[in-house]
């Protein structure tokens, strides 16, 4: 109790610890040898290995003990290492690819990385005998981004952040760094160059940017140092490099990009029906309704409670026919019960995590005593994936993975650290494996559903690790209905995106505490322009479906949810680009404007793709706000008013308006309002935001929105080329690809000029000019 009072700062509790503790550095290379495209150095304490997964990426492993540690390659894409040359100078061993030079000091193992052009990425890293790695000579005036799901601001310079997947029910305040997801990667940015480091270690790791200004100190609690160094040189390059190593974000089905409704819990069939019918009656689009833990029979995963949902076998497929996807929650804890086939099957298949004495690890979760699948084994992932046939038979194609840190109701909040994961015959303790648990569960789920349905799966996960973008969307856990948490959504999701995880979003409206009408509306406005858009709230809290407050609010909420669907072609285009390039859908301004210092720590605005700037209202009762627009000409989406960038402008934001801006030269594809994301569009609207002169182009995509067929060419690409000339705006429309879209008409609207528009169309359907929009 006393810890929560001023007693906590009683001087006697503190010792004067020196900040400048000498560290013992790893010393002296004794031997080295090059095997294939890898160089292995023997040093006084263990082994150092250097390889280049690509000429612009360095992978450095340091095994301090000479014991045979296994690499955690589970989240790493396979690659063929690049060739490099090796040369010895008096002081160094120099390894060189076409892009980088890596100097390892023979006496003290410090290393320096330079680009082929001679730029120095770091003045030196040093390795200590305690298993830490430090980068000294950090870039002056650098900004630190990434580090996955963290509270606080965008820039993490000056912070010490720890990675350990944790179920945090307490309010997510800036001092809590261990949340549900651990993405141990960061990006060091200056306007001159950026580089990134990914510490591939699935135990607890610590990133210290606070101890010394010129140092990044990376600590591992277990296992080896396995560090990928991305040499940039731009922020976009670093993201491309990180998603080359950990995988590009997967392309979700379109319905996953629509509006999703959830509550802990829609308690029975009547309530579910009432919710589905209300969306219909009130003409609010919805693509998915979630079933939280009460749908199960005594919290047994892969079951339905037949009293609460007596007709689930007929009713759920009916909902799907109406275009409403049901997404049930599936937690990892399997109830220990003799009459329960999943438990029995798991025991027979030896699928559960065990203690060192080979007894089952048993933890207390929703169902009471539960066994936890050992997802480190391929056979367990396969088994778990196949179990989902229970859901797919009902037409279910989306699964919500929760409690997969894994969360256990005990003091440590997780599994016994001594529990053993078989790891396909290379056993490791839970302490070493912990941060990968949720990732592996969602991987098993995603692959399982894909096999069973032949469609793009949708998995929503709470816990994850680097690379989770290949399998699942991430929601940011149990936030609260606080304005501060609405504001925090922006830097949190931006940093997830800068860690490779683009498909993310919060519980819109807030999970705990009662929301209020204005907060919900402002959150829905922001959600409309977030990569993932789900309203979710806790049992015991006031309801927060979009219609629960006065009509005025319902009308605004409906307008925005509909807007999400009008913007679907643009949003989908961003997800396709993300799959190609690894760049996030939701972007901090610094990603597009890296020479504008005002963007470096901008926490209350973001871009969707390159061209849409969103400046949400995150303050109660605010009816206007300052918006910083970077260089260039910007158009107010609502009024077409033109703004000169490079400064702040005061923008009116009555309750029904979220400030939105489009960059001059943008080509924005929109469509009609609709009820479901995958409903076919008859018409496409191209909005051109005029610029003085010059050429712009874009590619807009359409495919079936569901299957993987786009990978074999079944995709329509609309290539749009626009020339802004002195008196005319010339638009050329061409198509590529095998897929036939449903569009029978494209209308091109020109904003901000009354120049004549000339359309040269090579399409099989009509292309018209709409009226100018000034």
User: Which residues does the annotation mark as catalytic?
Assistant: 402, 405, 478
Question: Pseudo-torsion of CA 252, 254, 257, 263, nearest 10°?
Answer: -90
Beta carbon nearer to ligand GLC, 366 or 628: 366
Find tokens 């949340």 and name the residue. 179
Site for ligand GLC in 484-523 (CB under 6 A): 511
β partners of residue 636: 661
Beta carbon nearer to ligand GLC, 402 or 605: 402
* C-beta atoms surrounding 554 within 10 Å: 18
d(CA 194, CA 205): 22
What is the closest distance, in whole angstroms, from the C-beta atom of residue 486 to ligand GLC in the complex? 17
* Three-class SS of 481-550: CCHHHHHHHHHHHHHHHCCCCCCEECEECCCECCCCHHHHHHHHHHHCCCCCCEECCCCCCCCCCCCCCC
What is the closest distance, in whole angstroms, from the C-beta atom of residue 271 to ligand GLC in the complex? 15
What is the closest distance, in whole angstroms, from the C-beta atom of residue 505 to ligand GLC in the complex? 13
* Three-class SS of 84-115: CEEEECCCEEEEECCCEEEEEECCCCCEEEEE
What is the closest distance, in whole angstroms, from the C-beta atom of residue 612 to ligand GLC in the complex? 29
d(CA 434, CA 405): 7
d(CA 83, CA 773): 56
Per-residue x/- track, 456-475, ligand GLC (CB under 6 A):
------x-------------
DSSP code per residue over 254-277: GGGGS-EE--TT--SHHHHHHHHH
Site for ligand GLC in 227-266 (CB under 6 A): 264
What is the closest distance, in whole angstroms, from the C-beta atom of residue 539 to ligand GLC in the complex? 7
What is the closest distance, in whole angstroms, from the C-beta atom of residue 293 to ligand GLC in the complex? 4
Beta carbon nearer to ligand GLC, 154 or 275: 275
Beta carbon nearer to ligand GLC, 403 or 524: 403
Length of the chain: 774
Beta carbon nearer to ligand GLC, 168 or 608: 168
Residue nearest to ligand GLC (CB): 264
Per-residue x/- track, 263-292, ligand GLC (CB under 6 A):
-x---------------------------x
| Binder of ligand GLC out of 101, 159, 402, 432 (CB under 6 A) | 402
With binding defined as CB under 6 A, does residue 293 bind ligand GLC?
yes
Beta carbon nearer to ligand GLC, 511 or 710: 511
User: Token pair for residue 393?
Assistant: 């038979």
Q: Please tell me what DSSP assigns to residue 712.
A: G
d(CA 686, CA 562): 18
Nearest to 574, CA basis, from 615, 529, 523, 629: 529
What is the closest distance, in whole angstroms, from the C-beta atom of residue 309 to ligand GLC in the complex? 16
d(CA 227, CA 111): 13
Site for ligand GLC in 334-393 (CB under 6 A): none
Number of shown-chain residues binding ligand GLC (CB under 6 A): 10
d(CA 17, CA 639): 59
DSSP code per residue over 390-429: HHHTTT--EEEE-STTT--SSTTSS--TT-EE-GGGS-EE
DSSP code per residue over 573-596: HHHHHHHHH---SEE-HHHH-TT-
Beta carbon nearer to ligand GLC, 293 or 459: 293
Angle between helices 378-387 and 341-348 (to 10 degrees): 160
With binding defined as CB under 6 A, does residue 478 bind ligand GLC?
yes
Beta carbon nearer to ligand GLC, 354 or 462: 462
Site for ligand GLC in 524-563 (CB under 6 A): 536
With binding defined as CB under 6 A, does residue 605 bind ligand GLC?
no
Beta carbon nearer to ligand GLC, 50 or 329: 329
**SS3 assignment, position 314:** helix
What is the closest distance, in whole angstroms, from the C-beta atom of residue 180 to ligand GLC in the complex? 8
By the 8 A CB rule, do 404 and 460 touch?
A: no
Per-residue x/- track, 629-648, ligand GLC (CB under 6 A):
--------------------
What is the closest distance, in whole angstroms, from the C-beta atom of residue 297 to ligand GLC in the complex? 15
Site for ligand GLC in 41-100 (CB under 6 A): none
| Binder of ligand GLC out of 477, 500, 588, 741 (CB under 6 A) | 477
Contact footprint for ligand GLC (CB under 6 A):
264, 292-293, 329, 402, 462, 477-478, 511, 536
């Amino acid at each position: 109790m006393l810890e929560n009072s001023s007693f906590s700062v009683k001087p006697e509790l503190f010792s004067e610890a020196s900040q400048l503790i000498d560290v013992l550095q790893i010393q002296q290379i004794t031997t080295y040898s090059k095997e294939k495209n890898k160089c292995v150095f023997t040093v006084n304490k263990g082994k150092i290995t250097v390889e280049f997964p690509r000429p612009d990426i360095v992978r450095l492993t340091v095994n301090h003990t000479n014991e045979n540690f296994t690499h955690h390659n589970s989240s790493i894409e396979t690659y063929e290492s690049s060739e490099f040359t090796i040369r010895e100078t008096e002081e160094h061993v120099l390894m060189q690819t076409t892009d980088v030079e890596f100097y390892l000091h023979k006496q003290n193992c410090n290393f320096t990385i330079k680009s082929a052009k001679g730029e120095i990425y770091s003045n030196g890293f040093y390795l200590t005998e305690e298993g830490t790695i430090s980068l000294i000579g950090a870039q002056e005036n650098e900004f630190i981004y990434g580090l996955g799901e963290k509270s606080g601001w965008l820039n993490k310079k000056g912070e010490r952040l720890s990675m350990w997947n944790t179920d945090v029910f307490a309010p997510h305040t800036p001092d809590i760094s261990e949340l549900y997801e651990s993405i141990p990667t960061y990006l060091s940015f200056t306007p001159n160059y950026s580089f990134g480091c990914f510490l591939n270690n699935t135990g607890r790791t610590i990133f210290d940017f606070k101890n010394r200004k010129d140092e990044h100190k990376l600590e591992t609690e277990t296992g080896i140092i396995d560090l990928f160094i991305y040499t940039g040189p731009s922020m976009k390059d670093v993201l491309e490099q990180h998603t080359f190593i950990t995988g590009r974000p997967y392309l979700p089905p379109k319905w996953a990009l629509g509006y999703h409704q959830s509550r802990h819990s829609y308690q029975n069939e009547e309530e579910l029906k009432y919710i589905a019918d209300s969306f219909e009656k009130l003409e609010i689009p919805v693509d998915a309704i979630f079933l939280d833990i009460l749908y199960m029979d005594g919290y047994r995963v892969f079951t339905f409670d037949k009293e609460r949902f007596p007709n689930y076998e007929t009713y759920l497929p009916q909902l799907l026919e109406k275009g409403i996807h049901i997404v049930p929650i599936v937690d990892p804890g399997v109830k220990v019960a003799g009459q329960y086939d999943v438990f029995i099957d798991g025991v027979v298949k030896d699928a559960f995590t065990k203690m060192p004495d080979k007894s089952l690890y048993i933890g207390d979760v929703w169902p009471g005593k539960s066994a936890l699948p050992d997802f480190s084994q391929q056979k367990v992932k396969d088994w778990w994936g196949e179990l989902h046939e229970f859901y797919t038979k009902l037409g279910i194609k989306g699964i919500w993975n929760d409690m997969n840190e894994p969360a256990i109701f005990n003091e440590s909040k997780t599994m016994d650290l001594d529990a053993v994961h078989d790891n396909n015959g290379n056993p490791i303790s839970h302490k070493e494996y912990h941060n990968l648990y949720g990732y592996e569960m969602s991987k098993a789920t995603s692959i399982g559903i894909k096999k069973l349905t032949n469609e793009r799966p949708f998995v929503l996960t709470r816990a994850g690790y680097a690379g989770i973008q290949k399998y699942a969307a991430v929601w940011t856990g149990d936030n609260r209905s606080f304005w501060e948490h609405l504001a925090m959504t922006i830097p949190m999701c931006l940093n997830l995106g800068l860690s490779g995880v683009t498909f993310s979003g919060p519980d819109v409206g807030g999970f705990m505490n009662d929301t209020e009408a204005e907060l919900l509306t402002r959150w829905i406005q922001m959600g409309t322009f977030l990569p993932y858009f789900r309203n979710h709230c806790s049992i015991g809290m006031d309801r927060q479906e979009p219609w629960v407050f006065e009509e005025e609010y319902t009308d605004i909420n409906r307008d925005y949810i509909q807007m999400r669907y009008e913007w679907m072609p643009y949003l989908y285009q961003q997800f396709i680009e993300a799959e190609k390039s690894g760049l996030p859908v939701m972007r901090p301004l610094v990603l597009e404007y890296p020479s504008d210092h005002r963007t470096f720590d901008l926490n209350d605005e973001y871009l969707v793709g390159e061209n849409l700037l969103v400046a949400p209202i995150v303050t109660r009762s605010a009816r206007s706000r300052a918006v910083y627009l970077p260089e260039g000409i910007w158009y107010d989406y609502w009024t077409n008013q033109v703004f000169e960038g490079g400064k702040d402008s005061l923008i009116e934001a009555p309750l029904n308006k979220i400030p939105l801006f489009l960059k001059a030269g943008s080509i924005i594809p929109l469509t009609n309002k609709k009820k479901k994301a995958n409903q076919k569009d008859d018409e496409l609207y191209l909005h051109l935001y005029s610029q003085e002169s010059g050429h712009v182009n874009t590619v807009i995509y359409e495919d079936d929105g569901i299957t993987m067929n786009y990978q074999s060419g079944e995709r329509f690409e609309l290539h749009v080329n626009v020339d802004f000339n002195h008196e005319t705006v010339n638009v050329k429309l061409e198509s590529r690809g095998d897929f036939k879209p449903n569009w029978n008409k494209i209308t091109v609207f020109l904003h901000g000029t009354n120049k004549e528009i000339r359309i040269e169309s090579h399409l099989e359907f009509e292309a018209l000019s709409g009226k100018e929009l000034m």
